[in-house]
């Protein structure tokens, strides 16, 4: 199976390393280059939970590799997806699937119609924790699980099974799901709480569980569930609160990706999290004052 990863951030390199470890007899994995540096000169560093680090070669994909690609795994920020795909699409095998792995929702609507017509589009949701220590150096900070499913187009059951089994072998636990959109909404709900609150108040994930945030968290999730219902997705408020609590506790010492972006002076994905809820709320005439406020406040940073 030929897999090309687009994006050299934490999650992109995490999957690259995991797949590369399987060996060429199982998968041929490459990275689409983001620089003009020759492939032979590129390496990256991976640090495990134990603290042990290793250097691995970074094998880049050329136009020929793109034409032979079975699956393109896109691991860039939500606001980068459309632009990142531009140099890839003219050379990409028309039979290949495009797998989107990012926070937030709304990128599918930004893709050109011809892309959606030619390729099966999948979503990969993961709870693995991974930190970009510096360019081409990542640290795996937390084991998690991943869900993958189809959001547009068709993919044969055999291909679904083969892809899921390979990803599960590389970085378990990975499961195929037919209700991936519902799971996207559940992850969006978690992100709508943890990301903006930690970014605005400079907190670690677990610190949002302080009593002073309880009412605000309920308000955020109430709005998310109301907007989700307008899209045909039923989310239980109490269950969402429990999920947010569980994630915050499990990643209590972690720094959210949005807080990392703010600390690094980088653009955040707030437009695709709180901003997505705001825009859908406006379309459906549903008031979302809490998410709108968070969207505006983080955008102002």
Domain boundary among 178, 213, 231: 178
Question: Residues 166, 234: one domain?
Answer: no
Burial class (CB in 10 A: 0-12, 13-18, 19+), 25: exposed
Model pTM above 0.85: yes
Same domain, residue pair 47 and 143: yes
pLDDT single digits (tens) 140-193: 988 889 999 999 999 999 999 999 999 999 999 999 999 999 999 999 999 999
Identify the pLDDT of residue 38. Answer: 47
37 plus 153 within the same structural domain:
yes
- Tell me, yes or no, whether 20 and 32 share the same domain: yes
* Residues 118, 126: Cα–Cα separation, whole Å: 26
CATH code assigned at 53: 3.40.50.720
Q: Which domain holds residue 76?
A: 2-178
Domain termination residue (choose one: 146, 178, 210): 178
Residues annotated as catalytic are 187
Same domain? For 29 and 89 the reply is yes
Tokens of 260: 């990392």
Summarize pLDDT for 11-54 with one digit per residue, the tens: 999 999 999 999 999 999 999 976 544 444 589 999 998 889 99
- What's the total number of domains in the chain? 2
Same domain, 279 and 213: yes
Residue 293: give its domain's CATH number.
1.10.1040.10
Question: What are 141-151's pLDDT values in tens digits?
Answer: 888 899 999 99
Query: Rounded to a whole number, what is the distance in angstroms from the first to the last CA of the chain?
Result: 43
Closest CA to 208 of 216, 272, 95: 216
Q: Do residues 166 and 27 lie in contact, with contact meaning Cβ atoms separated by under 8 Å? A: yes
Helix 274-283 crosses helix 180-201 at what angle (to 10 degrees)?
120
Do 152 and 190 fall within a single domain?
A: no
Residue 175: CA atoms inside 13 Å, Cβ hemisphere, count? 9
Give the pLDDT confidence score for residue 40 in this predicted structure. 46
> Is the same domain home to 91 and 224?
no
Residue ending a domain, among 178, 194, 210, is 178
Do 188 and 170 have their domain in common?
no
């Amino acid at each position: 199976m030929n897999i090309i990863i687009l994006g050299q951030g934490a999650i992109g390199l995490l999957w690259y390393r995991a797949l590369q470890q399987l060996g060429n007899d199982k998968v041929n994995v490459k990275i689409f280059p983001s620089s003009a540096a020759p492939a032979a000169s590129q390496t990256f560093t991976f640090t495990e939970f134990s603290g042990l680090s290793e250097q691995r070669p970074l094998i880049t994909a050329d136009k020929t590799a793109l034409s032979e690609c079975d699956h393109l795994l896109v691991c860039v920020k939500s606001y980068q997806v459309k632009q990142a795909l531009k140099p890839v699409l003219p050379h990409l095998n028309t039979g290949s699937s495009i797998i989107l792995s990012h926070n937030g929702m709304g990128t599918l609507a930004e893709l050109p119609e011809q892309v959606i017509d030619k390729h099966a589009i999948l979503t990969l949701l993961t709870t693995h924790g991974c930190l970009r220590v510096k360019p081409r150096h990542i640290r795996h900070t937390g084991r998690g699980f991943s869900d993958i499913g189809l959001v547009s187009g068709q993919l044969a059951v055999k291909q679904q099974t083969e892809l899921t089994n390979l990803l599960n072998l590389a970085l378990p636990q990975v499961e195929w799901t037919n209700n991936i959109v519902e799971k996207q909404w559940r992850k969006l709900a978690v992100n709508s709480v943890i990301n903006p609150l930690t970014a605005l108040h400079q907190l670690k994930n677990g610190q949002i569980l302080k009593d002073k945030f309880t009412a605000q968290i309920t308000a955020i999730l109430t709005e998310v569930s109301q907007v989700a219902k307008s899209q045909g997705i039923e989310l239980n408020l109490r269950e969402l609160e429990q999920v947010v609590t569980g994630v915050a506790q499990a990643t209590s010492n972690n720094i959210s990706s949005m807080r990392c972006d703010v600390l690094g002076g980088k653009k955040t994905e707030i437009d695709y999290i709180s901003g997505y809820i705001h825009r859908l709320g406006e379309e459906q005439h549903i008031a979302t004052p809490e998410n709108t406020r968070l969207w505006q406040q983080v955008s102002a940073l």
